Amino acid sequence: MRVTVFDGKSHSVDSKEVAFISAGRKAFIDAVLKARPILLEPIVDIEVITPEAAMGDVIGDLSAKHGQVHGTRTAAGNTVVVTGQVPLSELNDYQSRLNAIAGGNGIYNIQLSHYDAVPAAQQEQMASLHKNRATARCHERHAGHVVRIALHQSAPNISPKPCGGRQPESNQPGNV
């Protein structure tokens, strides 16, 4: 992303670098929010080689993991190959799960296919979790501190509330 500043004034007494950094940060956040960003997750092609008796359970498990099964084919002996696509995040510790399903006789291979949008409900949940963590970190940083930014000599000192407008949880006087 590239940002271009078209206009700005500074004053040798009141203008501080931190004021311009803060203004840039706020402009960046505003631009990102207006762009309505979405989260993308990696989707992988998966190939599972399993005993024929476990094929139905493997297909059910991949479907339960938000995967799409594209097909099956027979392989040597009593094995089948199940192919499909699944979000990479759903494959954490998949070999253990596959071992349980296939009695220790299953293996799988993955390869990055593409990126796809995370479902909207999950995006909201992740954003809320991130916002709560960021607010907690902000409260830790600002506990007991007063944040003041002098914008210009003719403008009064503005005391913005850090942490997204929420008060830091501290009993010390002078908190913003």
Q: Can you tell me the mean pLDDT for 40-45? A: 94
Q: Are 30 and 47 in contact (CB under 8 A)?
A: no
Q: Which residue has the tokens 């809320």?
A: 128
Six-digit token string for 16: 């501080």
Instruction: Read off the pLDDT of residues 1-18 as tens digits, 9 standing for 90 and up.
Output: 676 767 767 777 767 778
pLDDT of residue 120: 85
User: What digits encode the pLDDT tens for the residues 97-148?
Assistant: 999 999 999 999 999 999 999 888 888 888 888 777 767 666 666 554 444 3
The string of DSSP codes covering 6-74 is ------TTT--HHHHHHHHHHHHHHHHHHT----EEEEEEEEEEEEGGGHHHHHHHHHHTT-EEEEEEE
The pLDDT of residue 83: 96
* Closest to 144 in 3D by CA, of 122, 162, 127: 162
What mean pLDDT is reported for the chain? 78
**Lookup: tokens for 102:** 């296939």
Question: Do 139 and 169 touch, CB atoms closer than 8 A?
Answer: yes
Most confident of the ranges 21-25, 82-86, 126-130, 138-142: 82-86
Q: What is the pLDDT of residue 121?
A: 87
Dig out the tokens for 13 from the structure: 């007494």
pLDDT for the residue numbered 14: 67
pLDDT at 17: 78
> What is the spatial distance between Cα 20 and Cα 166, in angstroms, rounded to a whole number?
23
Whole-model pTM? 0.60
* Residue 130: Cβ-neighbour burial (10 angstroms; 0-12, 13-18, 19+): exposed
Question: Could you report the per-residue pLDDT of 161-173, keeping only the tens digit for each?
Answer: 445 555 444 444 4
Q: Of 94, 11, 10, 15, which Cα lies nearest the Cα of 58? A: 94
Dihedral, 63, 64, 65, 70 alpha carbons, nearest 10? 0
- How confident is the model at residue 96, as a pLDDT? 93
Q: Which residue, chain included where needed, has tokens 């989707």? A: 43
